[in-house]
Structure 1
Amino acid sequence: MAGATRTPTNLTQGGKTDAGIGASTLRPDGTLKVTGEFAYSSDMWHEDMLWGFTLRSTVAHAEIVSIDTSEALAQSGVYAVLTYDDLPTDVKNYGLEIQDTPVLAHGKVRHHGEPVALVAADHPETARRAAAKIKIEYKELPVVTDEASAIAEGAPLIHEGRDDHHSGHVPHPNIVHRQPIIRGNADEAAKKADVIVSGEYVFGMQDQAFLGPESGLAVPGEDGGVDLYVATQWLHSDLRQIAPVLGLPEEKVRMTLSGVGGAFGGREDLSMQIHACLLALRTGKPVKIVYNRFESFFGHVHRHPAKLWYEHGATKDGKLTHMKCRIVLDGGAYASASPAVVGNASSLSVGPYVVDDVEIEAIALYSNNPPCGAMRGFGAVQACFAYEAQMDKLAKKLGMDPVEFRQLNAMEQGTIMPTGQPVDSPAPVAELLRRIKAMPLPPEQQWLAAGESADVRALPGGLSNTTHGEGVVRGIGYAVGIKNVGFSEGFDDYSTARVRMEVVGGEAVATVHTAMAEVGQGGVTVHAQIARTELGVEQVTIHPADTQVGSAGSTSASRQTYMTGGAVKNTCENVREKVLEIGRRKFGTYHPAWATAELLLEGGKVVTDGGEVLADIAEVLEGEAVDLELEFRHRPTEPFDLKTGQGFGHVQYSFAAHRAVVEVDTELGLVKVIELAVAQDVGKALNPLSVVGQIQGGTTQGLGVAVMEEIIVDPKTAKVRNPSFTDYLIPTILDTPTIPVDVLELADEHAPYGLRGIGEAPTLSSTPAVLAAIRNATGLELNKTPVRPEHLTGT
């Protein structure tokens, strides 16, 4: 079945559901979520609880002349009002890589919506009204909004006197990070090109648009510490940043994951965590903070908007000769994950193609725009949009089929990346393109004759009833992308799992305890599947994620099934050996197979590799338990050289290809995406149903940025103009097309079970596929996302 279009079903064996690896086991939280019974972090409650509120700046760049909190403090029901001067320690900044983000603004604000003061009150509306009474006098400063204003002579410095580990190799203090990659000689190689194409591309700022806004509950402890229940992507990273600000040792900041309503990178950075803890410790009462949607747009980072310049050359027979590019990412006011995003954008900027001679530069700016950081695809999305447009330009100029041109230049296992790293696992780029092109096309619309009624739901504009087929043209476009998996560039990427095996009610039961953030990706389901497969038991309990176990790393970078799944597998294997040791000790003298045979745990039994049952697992463990906590690491990576970009920077790559079919009303500029077909190599589908769901979800997010999603920032004031789902549009079910999925399974020998991270790759290629289809329908160049009606009509 490998490579076929999959319709996931539960696999069965002997009339009993096999809930182990390879089965489409249903998620334990699924029914609760669709029926509205699941408890999210915003649903938490505590007796005698206060409500916290964050007052945010109304301007993007200004000196803070004065703050007057007296009226707010005097309001009935208010328990505390905090500003920068009330912070308890000398540690007043935090950050994922660079600690440049203030807990509360001091001296000046650097972006619209920056936190300035906190209020705790006995009712959320009381807290909001009190915050409105805080008087702040600002002296506005010139804003930095793009590269020109960031590096111009006399440009305002976003961070004066910055001193961090990236500042030594950047040409200006308003540049967070710079990564060049030089391999071969692009100028010399360009002389061999028969055709050269170039283009400038603009990628808009995208919001993660997760369902559940930021929220959490902080409860002060009797020991002077605090218990924090929060929706996040990385408990231990939060802990590392929170504890120093509170002046507490990490063991006194106890964190438990609460229900997470989506993440997509937007919860990697802190939002309300420190604020809730500060208010709880100041008042001695539990404090809950829940952002509304308006606050959420200011409370988390977004996807970096980008400007990209590319040049490619090719011979007349279609072989790429060279590539040059320059990528400028706007990181906004604070660093967040910008250095790592730069590393991804530069190292993956060539795409899944063989190009021996490259000259690449990627930078991220500091500006007064909203902070940007992690979002699904993480730098590779912006690059894919540009290099796939270039592939179509080259194919057109050469008179070649765009798919065949891509296949001719596709990388494969053994290809050397621009960073000098060999691709040492399957890279079926040409095969994915072949599969996606071979999938049946949706039927052509036969527009009804004049006087008859068309089903407007199937037309561009949908229920707005703007057309009945007049001026509607169909287009088809293709794209393919490459995404790294896991943390890169020498980061010590590891995960921890604790597994306990014991007898409960006469049955062997396993408990799996990790700090993995379940954000909707289905990790808890897979962990149970792994435990059932490795330990041979039916009953598996997933312990709530908290900081009482070692770090699981972030739920990002498509890494959790590889890393924390790998940790669960590794720990289960060791637990299994301990169980067998107990069995050998108890029963080895009675049956020689205990000492001589290869032993397995299956179906609640200890069996030989020949199928002979030796004992029940429960019988072996009666009166004893096995409890282990172990770490798992992937093979080491190394930082990219800061001058040449060379280095073994990534642990694994993932690949996806898309074919988009669109219909465009060329008179009104309206687009209807009819189908987004996907082919993706997943290495091994541990849960086929979840695999298809991840691919379809990532595809839909790529669709959103192609035709509707963009945070609009005023270029003169750097203020956000559309912080709501009324004005920031995301795809609904009416916008989401048919998404057939073709799953290919080519094992990566370096990964647990041969799996390959899957969550991000489909987000890359769906966007340029949609743009390619719209170009095919209209003949327009379309070098900006998202495509708007005015781009198609010239109005």
Structure 2
Amino acid sequence: MRGEFAFSSDLWAEDMLWGVTLRSPHPCARINGIDVGAALGVPGVYAVLTAEDVPGERRYGLEVADQPVLAGDQVCYVGEPVAIVAADHPETARRAAERIVVDYAVREPVTDPEAALAGGQVVRHVPIRRGDPGVTAEVVVTGEYRVGMQDQAFLGPESGLAVPAPDGGIDLYVATQWLHADQRQVAAALALPEEKVRLSLAGVGGAFGAREDLSMQVHASLLALRTGRPVKMVYGREESFVGHVHRHPAILRYEHGATRDGRLVYVRAWILLDGGAYTSTTPAVVANAASLGVGPYQVPNVVVDAYGVHTNNPPCGAMRGFGAVQACFGYESQMDRLAAAVGLDPVEVRVRNAMVEGALMPTGQVVEGPAPVARLLELVRDRPVPPPAGADLRQLPGGVANTTRAEHVTRGVGYAIGIKNVCFSEGFDDFATARVRLELLGGEPAVLVRTAAAEVGQGLVTVQAQIARTELGVERVVVGTADTGVGSAGSSSASRQTYMTGGAVRAACQAVRGRLLDRLGGIERVGLELVGGAVLDGGGRVVTTVAELLVGGAVEETVRWRHRPTRPLDPVSGQGDAHVQYAFAAHRATVDVDAELGLVRVVEIATAQDVGRAINPEAVRGQIQGGTAQGLGLALMEELRVVDGVIRNPSFTDYLIPTILDMPPMAVDVLELADPHSPYGLRGVGEPPTISATPAIVAAIRAATGLPLARVPVRPEHLTGTG
């Protein structure tokens, strides 16, 4: 292994052209006209296209087709695509795009989500009503919390290569999370049947939700079909920041009522998510924020109103945690306030209210699998607390810059736990398809696994191979490149792929195994196993070999696999079995803070998570560590600063993400409490660590400083009182 990988930005084709996008500089404006003449006159330019050149549907979208392929009559956010150019060199294409003249009539944008709500720009309202809405309590704590706009910050910007095909179709090689959703939307825009739009997964440099929506897919395809030549598009970092959706900024208002011994009586919550200019996945994010909005606690009386609204800010959609992140910061901050109000330890107040297996969600759904909320909290609480930093400057806020003197540094410890749904919800037809072929190659049995599941760095290719080896007892397994030549596997999101595509691969392998064993004729099949290329009976004796059974030809099966059904939330009460599975993670954060200088150092993070069953233990730990890093980023540094609809920090110079120097040592406890409904008892693992990491870190800073800190990320001025 040389550590090399071909990403989508590395793709190359003979006679390739380069595509570039002209984007709106205004958050809200009418387009009176577009003059492309000067751009077409640039030597080396082969095509300049506008909305009028889109042959099919001019709007697309994951859930609602409301986003223009190219803006025609108006623009609704800064960065909206207006025209595209193909040229023989990327710099030529950029110079040509700069010569396109767009006549804008600028309008006043709506960038305040509360103003958008008052103006009726509601994408979705999800109410949750359970119990007595007018109940009172002995102890009441209230709070308003805000979450900034976070970017997925993947390392490989949007890119891909579109190649015109002899049949009039297009072959698109692209970094994406959902091949078949892309295929559907691209085909509609190109006015082509879906079978003539063939997508193959190119190397993906991270995703975290931002690659669910289209970026350059339609644009490159339009240019390739117009010019008859391959067209490659690669975004720079600044363009990437406006070329994909972000985490929804949020305003959250909570009221928790409890008895004097800290037992919850009611929770009332108002949650507002800024969806930006277009719908994307806002309806589903709102539903998650609402249905998970009181946390992993048993609460008899719940009133939640969650809203998503349209503004002229950049579009927001899927990001790791998907609505649960914003809600968790609100309800966990409230649990700390409740603990202080009733004089309890922060862990104890959570344990007293902890959800258990068989508990009811605010939606009325029964939690059917393990819910080890109390145990996870106790695991992180009981970990040894790291010792004081001492005189080592590297262990103090500010590090070796020696900006901090130890006498001004205070330490704090904070806790949080979160809940996340796994897989798609609310009656969505969630399925995955797998094709498994067992055959003889060179006299040895070999397995080929084909799915359309996007490997985005989560280790899915390895998991598919593991499952095939386990089920068929054959060491030689090849996992084919994901493409639309096999049925959909859904999106690599919602922590669902190991559950869903893993379940499909398992089912397909079992079908292949059944057909293979049918070749045994009258031999009793009960207790037979496939191990090491042999067929063993219940006593471990070899009956025959897989190779001998394959002499009659290969065995292939294609299976479409679904999880147990869900149903939509009731639009009035919010009741319903909306989710497939719930996952839980807890964090304890230890921080050192110099409040005079506004510096924070996260000393250690302890985390505990129930994963059902760790199919790949090392990958599971990596997911927990990576998710925690993103939670740390949201707590302390990551925010897209949007002023009047304009992103003011569209680079990694100004949009900061955690580095290895920011990440503390992590103590990880992995619980394996099997879920009775899932393949192998597994539970989705990718998102829960992101959810509870942020409020745990902020709780620790509060403990160190005594400051209320009701907004993330926590910036230096919040600690010094200068802003």
Q: Is the 8 A contact 2:128 2:303 kept in 1?
A: yes
- Residue matched to 1:187: 134
Alpha carbons of structure 1 residues 137 and 463: separation in structure 2 relative to 1, 3 Å: farther
Cα deviation for residue 597 of structure 1 reads 4.3
Q: Is the 8 A contact 2:117 2:309 kept in 1?
A: no
- Residue matched to 1:726: 653
CA deviation vs aligned residue, 1:660-710 (integer Å, no higher than 9, x gap): 000001210100001111100000000100000000000000000000000
Quote the Cα distance in structure 1 between the aligned partners of 2:320 and 2:184.
23
Cα deviation for residue 86 of structure 1 reads 1.2
| Aligned ranges 1:216-231 → 2 under 5 Å | 216-231=160-175
Cα deviation for residue 187 of structure 1 reads 1.7
- Residue matched to 1:477: 414
Q: Is the 8 A contact 2:113 2:310 kept in 1?
A: no
Q: Is the 8 A contact 1:456 1:468 kept in 2?
A: no
What letter matches 1:334 in structure 2?
A: Y
Cα deviation for residue 139 of structure 1 reads 1.1
Q: Which of 485, 503, 517 lines up with 2:440 in the alignment? A: 503
Quote the Cα distance in structure 2 between the aligned partners of 1:662 and 1:613.
59
SS in 1 for 2:615: coil
Q: Is the 8 A contact 1:342 1:364 kept in 2?
A: yes
- Residue matched to 2:716: 789
Quote the Cα distance in structure 2 between the aligned partners of 1:98 and 1:260.
25
- Residue matched to 1:291: 235
Q: Which of 124, 138, 152 lines up with 1:177 in the alignment? A: 124
Cα deviation for residue 506 of structure 1 reads 1.4
| Aligned ranges 1:260-339 → 2 under 5 Å | 260-339=204-283
Alpha carbons of structure 1 residues 596 and 386: separation in structure 2 relative to 1, 3 Å: closer
Cα deviation for residue 616 of structure 1 reads 1.5
**Gap runs ≥5 in structure 2:** none
Q: Which of 673, 677, 701 lines up with 2:606 in the alignment? A: 677
| Aligned ranges 1:460-475 → 2 under 5 Å | 460-475=397-412
| Aligned ranges 1:93-172 → 2 under 5 Å | 93-152=59-118, 172=120
| Aligned ranges 1:36-435 → 2 under 5 Å | 37-89=4-56, 91-152=57-118, 172=120, 174-188=121-135, 190=136, 193-435=137-379
Q: Which of 480, 485, 499 lines up with 1:562 in the alignment? A: 499
Quote the Cα distance in structure 2 between the aligned partners of 1:785 and 1:570.
44
CA deviation vs aligned residue, 1:755-784 (integer Å, no higher than 9, x gap): 000100010000000000000000000000
CA deviation vs aligned residue, 1:184-231 (integer Å, no higher than 9, x gap): 11322x2xx221000000000000000100000000000000000000
Alignment root-mean-square deviation, CA: 0.9
CA deviation vs aligned residue, 1:574-621 (integer Å, no higher than 9, x gap): 100111112x13xx5xxxxx2264211011100012201111111111
SS in 1 for 2:22: strand
CA deviation vs aligned residue, 1:292-339 (integer Å, no higher than 9, x gap): 101100110000000000000110111101000000000000000000
- Residue matched to 1:487: 424
Quote the Cα distance in structure 2 between the aligned partners of 1:628 and 1:679.
39
Quote the Cα distance in structure 1 between the aligned partners of 2:29 and 2:664.
45
Quote the Cα distance in structure 1 between the aligned partners of 2:538 and 2:28.
69
Quote the Cα distance in structure 2 between the aligned partners of 1:543 and 1:731.
34
Cα deviation for residue 465 of structure 1 reads 2.5
Alpha carbons of structure 1 residues 151 and 529: separation in structure 2 relative to 1, 3 Å: closer
Q: Which of 692, 701, 717 lines up with 2:621 in the alignment? A: 692
- Residue matched to 1:550: 487
Q: Is the 8 A contact 1:459 1:467 kept in 2?
A: yes
CA deviation vs aligned residue, 1:387-427 (integer Å, no higher than 9, x gap): 00000000011110010110000000010110010000100
Quote the Cα distance in structure 1 between the aligned partners of 2:150 and 2:394.
27
Length, aligned pairs only: 722
Alpha carbons of structure 1 residues 374 and 596: separation in structure 2 relative to 1, 3 Å: closer
Q: Is the 8 A contact 1:62 1:140 kept in 2?
A: yes
TM-score by length of 1: 0.90
- Residue matched to 2:554: 625
What letter matches 1:230 in structure 2?
A: V
Quote the Cα distance in structure 2 between the aligned partners of 1:250 and 1:516.
18
- Residue matched to 1:28: none
What letter matches 2:557 in structure 1?
A: L
- The alignment-based identity, stated in percent, is 64
Q: Is the 8 A contact 1:470 1:665 kept in 2?
A: no
SS in 2 for 1:359: strand
Cα deviation for residue 463 of structure 1 reads 3.6
Alpha carbons of structure 1 residues 580 and 653: separation in structure 2 relative to 1, 3 Å: same
Quote the Cα distance in structure 1 between the aligned partners of 2:525 and 2:361.
47
Quote the Cα distance in structure 2 between the aligned partners of 1:366 and 1:650.
26
| Aligned ranges 1:728-743 → 2 under 5 Å | 728-743=655-670
What letter matches 1:494 in structure 2?
A: F
Quote the Cα distance in structure 2 between the aligned partners of 1:765 and 1:626.
46
Quote the Cα distance in structure 1 between the aligned partners of 2:484 and 2:84.
26
What letter matches 1:691 in structure 2?
A: V
SS in 1 for 2:577: coil
SS in 1 for 2:63: coil
CA deviation vs aligned residue, 1:704-754 (integer Å, no higher than 9, x gap): 00000000010xx21111111011000011101111110001000100000
SS in 2 for 1:187: coil
SS in 1 for 2:218: helix
SS in 1 for 2:357: coil
Q: Which of 526, 529, 543 lines up with 2:466 in the alignment? A: 529
What letter matches 1:79 in structure 2?
A: Y
SS in 2 for 1:198: strand
Cα deviation for residue 505 of structure 1 reads 1.1
Cα deviation for residue 462 of structure 1 reads 2.1
**Gap runs ≥5 in structure 1:** 1-30, 156-171, 449-454, 589-593
Q: Is the 8 A contact 2:517 2:525 kept in 1?
A: no
TM-score by length of 2: 0.99
Q: Is the 8 A contact 2:465 2:479 kept in 1?
A: yes
Quote the Cα distance in structure 2 between the aligned partners of 1:542 and 1:323.
48
- Residue matched to 2:593: 664
Cα deviation for residue 653 of structure 1 reads 0.2
CA deviation vs aligned residue, 1:368-398 (integer Å, no higher than 9, x gap): 0000000000000000000000000000111
Q: Which of 441, 459, 482 lines up with 2:385 in the alignment? A: 441
Q: Is the 8 A contact 1:516 1:552 kept in 2?
A: yes
Q: Is the 8 A contact 1:186 1:323 kept in 2?
A: no
SS in 2 for 1:186: coil
Quote the Cα distance in structure 1 between the aligned partners of 2:695 and 2:117.
30
Cα deviation for residue 151 of structure 1 reads 4.2
Tell me whether 1:459 sits opposite 2:396 in the alignment: yes
Quote the Cα distance in structure 2 between the aligned partners of 1:51 and 1:122.
6
Quote the Cα distance in structure 1 between the aligned partners of 2:616 and 2:685.
12
What letter matches 2:298 in structure 1?
A: V
Q: Is the 8 A contact 2:527 2:538 kept in 1?
A: yes
Q: Is the 8 A contact 1:640 1:647 kept in 2?
A: yes
SS in 2 for 1:595: coil
CA deviation vs aligned residue, 1:537-592 (integer Å, no higher than 9, x gap): 0000001100000000000000000000000001101100111112x13xx5xxxx
Cα deviation for residue 629 of structure 1 reads 0.6
CA deviation vs aligned residue, 1:133-184 (integer Å, no higher than 9, x gap): 11112111111112333145xx5xxxxxxxxxxxxxxxx2x11011000001
Quote the Cα distance in structure 2 between the aligned partners of 1:605 and 1:740.
41
